[in-house]
Structure 1
Amino acid sequence: MYTPNGRMSLPADVRKRLGLTSGAVFLEETEDGVVLRTAAQAVARAQALAQQYTGGHPEAGVDGFLARRAEDSVE
């Protein structure tokens, strides 16, 4: 269902079943269709992807990068 301003509306029973009380829902288009995620699910997915690419090494993440930049600027 769409609202007059083009937004998608989820029925109340679907929102209740999914635990969507308020806030944003993130939409991802995939080869198989569309995936809706809550903010918490989107964050968890991003963290899992970061873990996959950094191998769990904190220095490989954004905080490590910023720390190295700060150290380099002092020298």
Structure 2
Amino acid sequence: MTLQVNITPNGRMSLPVGIRKRLGLEGGGAVLVEETSEGVILRTVDQAVAKAQAIAKRFADHPDSSVDAFLTARRSDSGE
């Protein structure tokens, strides 16, 4: 879904009520703004946390994700 919103001269913009309701922001709240090479992404804090947890889970589920495994690999790579 693509919607146009206007930005006031002092930098304020309003998210349409339907989007705010779906995101649980009816009473206000915080969003995170990420600038990418393709544009701007707005995420709720909950969405950003969920994304970070998913990324961390990918690495935590790896069998060699322990600190000891990391240090062993570093020692091996450095010839210690």
TM-score range, shorter chain: 0.5 to 0.7
Rounded Cα–Cα distance in structure 2 between residues aligned with 1:52 and 1:5: 41
Please state how far the C-alpha of 1:28 moved relative to its aligned partner.
1.8
* Cα RMSD for the two superposed structures: 2.8
Q: Structure 1 regions of 5+ residues with no counterpart?
A: 61-75
Please state how far the C-alpha of 1:46 moved relative to its aligned partner.
0.8
> Any runs of at least 4 consecutive aligned residues in structure 1 with deviations exceeding 4 A, and if so which?
56-60
The number of equivalent residue pairs is 60
Rounded Cα–Cα distance in structure 2 between residues aligned with 1:43 and 1:56: 20
Q: Which residue in the other structure is 1:13 paired with?
A: 18
TM-score, normalised to structure 2, is 0.51
Percent identity reads 57
Please state how far the C-alpha of 1:18 moved relative to its aligned partner.
3.2
Task: Compare CA radii of gyration and give the structure with the larger one.
Answer: 2
Q: Structure 2 regions of 5+ residues with no counterpart?
A: 1-5, 68-80
